[in-house]
Amino acid sequence: MRFVHDTLPQRVRFASGAATEELAAEVAELGARRVMVVAGGSGREIADRVTAGLPVVHRHTDVVMHVPVDVARRARDAATEWHADTLVCVGGGSATGLAKAVALTTGLPIVAVPTTYAGSEATAVWGLTEDARKTTGTDPRVLPRAIVYDATLTRSLPVGLSVASGLNALAHCVDSMWAPHSDPVDRALAAEGVRALSGGLPLVVKDPHALDGRERTLYGAYLAAVAFASAGSGLHHKVCHVLGGMFGLPHAQTHAVVLPHVLAFNAPYSPDAERLLASAFGAPTAGEGLARLRAALDAPRSLRSLGMPQEGVAAAAEAVVAAAPPGNPRPVTLASITELVQTAWEGNPPR
Ligand code: NAD
């Protein structure tokens, strides 16, 4: 056995129902005196609750998915104008992503309070969008110093979004099995992530307010993100990145649709991943485990239903082939990727 595994320096608190106290403890530990809160949309109301009592100098609510550069510039200007010394982001990957954009140029520390299963809070990956093109990079400055996970804050996430976001997390686990820097530690985390997510998500669908399902799903989402942060982007993430950028498709839903197709594409060429995933799903094969889970969740099926035009299939396939990670278990060809994207567009089961 020979591998190199980087563990990211970050404190993680799981505390259902106690985000306010746990966040206050983290902010105090950082010695923060001037907090800028980043929270948009539904995150604003949650942020008002959990940041009550903090030394907040500014609440930044201008949050947009995929962090357009002008949105990032306004947030950076606000941090400078208000002399912020700490960023607290409350919300999904969009709020975390905006806080990361500020940290990238200012070096300010972030404390993240996630309210979806996107997992951005546990990675050092940032993303910015300009002219419909998303650029991503990795920088230790954007890794939040601490995460406060409070599953009660995810109760208000609608079931459809919970399913898509949870499958986004599951995609982090699956792709971590064969991504360029995948190692045995990543695969162990990813397998436990699959167990937690495949156990938790059906409970969320059954009763979105029940804490057990929300806690298991949030725990799985964290494990998924840690595995992904170390393993890097595999084929699945490259496909979703291309589709999201080219057609402006919703992030989590695109992951939910594409996942079974990439799994069917790669798993037969990666016996180790197949065995680990099948066992984690508790199913005879990985594909069957995912299919059963998706049926139980009534997961989104087609790229067509997300608004992708059929004429886009050929261009998307070309871009995926150009971006395909080296060392993908199955050789990537234009013909095979065109078939994959076409099948996902139609919403048919993977071939
Ligand atoms: P999001 O943050 O845009 O949230 C989706 C929607 O859910 C929004 O309308 C939001 O207001 C709402 N919402 C969030 N929490 C809620 C709650 N508890 N109750 C009710 N509504 C709630 O979407 P996302 O899927 O969490 O994040 C997507 C973004 O994160 C994308 O830009 C993606 O690229 C990025 N991302 C980055 C990484 C990384 O490692 N850098 C990882 C995953 C995702």
Residue 114, domain CATH: 3.40.50.1970
User: Which residue owns the Cα nearest ligand 1 atom 8?
Assistant: 41
User: Which residue owns the Cα nearest ligand 1 atom 37?
Assistant: 120
CA of 305 to the centre of ligand 1 (A): 20
Which run of H or E residues covers position 12? strand 11-14
Q: Of 154, 173, 202, which marks where a domain is finished?
A: 154
CA of 284 to the centre of ligand 1 (A): 33
**Do residues 29 and 76 share a domain?**
yes
CA of 123 to the centre of ligand 1 (A): 14
CA of 112 to the centre of ligand 1 (A): 13
User: Which residue owns the Cα nearest ligand 1 atom 20?
Assistant: 157
Residue ranges lining ligand 1, Cβ < 6 Å = 41-43, 65-66, 91-95, 97, 115-116, 118-120, 123, 125, 127, 153-154, 156-157, 161, 165, 251-252
CA of 91 to the centre of ligand 1 (A): 7
User: Which residue owns the Cα nearest ligand 1 atom 27?
Assistant: 93
Considering only CA atoms, give the Rg of the chain: 19
Nearest atom (ligand 1) to Cα of 40: 11
Q: Of 154, 180, 211, which marks where a domain is finished?
A: 154
CA of 209 to the centre of ligand 1 (A): 19
- pLDDT digits 0-9 by tens, 271-329: 999 999 999 999 999 999 999 999 999 999 999 999 999 999 999 999 999 999 989 99
**Do residues 139 and 179 share a domain?**
no
- Rounded-to-integer distance, Cα 287 and Cα 240, Å: 19
Nearest atom (ligand 1) to Cα of 117: 26
User: Which residue owns the Cα nearest ligand 1 atom 38?
Assistant: 120
CA distances (Å), origin 154, targets 161, 248, 298: 11, 25, 19
Residue 155: per-residue pLDDT: 97
User: Which residue owns the Cα nearest ligand 1 atom 9?
Assistant: 41
CA of 41 to the centre of ligand 1 (A): 10
The number of residues in the chain equals 351
**Do residues 293 and 322 share a domain?**
yes
Check if the beta carbon of residue 173 is closer than 8 Å to that of residue 197.
yes
Angle of helix 93-106 versus helix 69-81 axis, rounded to 10: 60
**Do residues 145 and 162 share a domain?**
no
CA of 317 to the centre of ligand 1 (A): 26
CA of 66 to the centre of ligand 1 (A): 9
Q: What is the span of the domain harbouring residue 68?
A: 11-154
Provide CB contacts within 8 A for 344, sequence distance 6+. Answer: 257, 258, 261, 302, 303
- Rounded-to-integer distance, Cα 50 and Cα 153, Å: 10
Distance of CA 295 to the CA centre of its chain: 22
Residue 245: per-residue pLDDT: 84
107: left (phi over 0), alpha (psi -120 to 50) or beta: left
Q: Of 132, 154, 176, which marks where a domain is finished?
A: 154
**Do residues 302 and 164 share a domain?**
yes
Residue ranges in the chain modelled with pLDDT below 70: none
Residue 351: per-residue pLDDT: 79
Q: Is residue 5 included in any domain, yes or no?
A: no
Full-model pTM: 0.96
In b/e form, how buried is each residue of 158-184, taking b as 16+ CB within 10 angstroms?
eebbbbbbbbbbbbbbbbbbbbebbbe
Q: Is residue 189 included in any domain, yes or no?
A: yes
Residue whose CB lies within 8 A of the most ligand 1 atoms, among 16, 65, 172, for a mutation test:
65
Q: Is residue 59 included in any domain, yes or no?
A: yes
Q: Is residue 318 included in any domain, yes or no?
A: yes
**Do residues 235 and 134 share a domain?**
no
**Do residues 181 and 135 share a domain?**
no
- Rounded-to-integer distance, Cα 191 and Cα 164, Å: 19
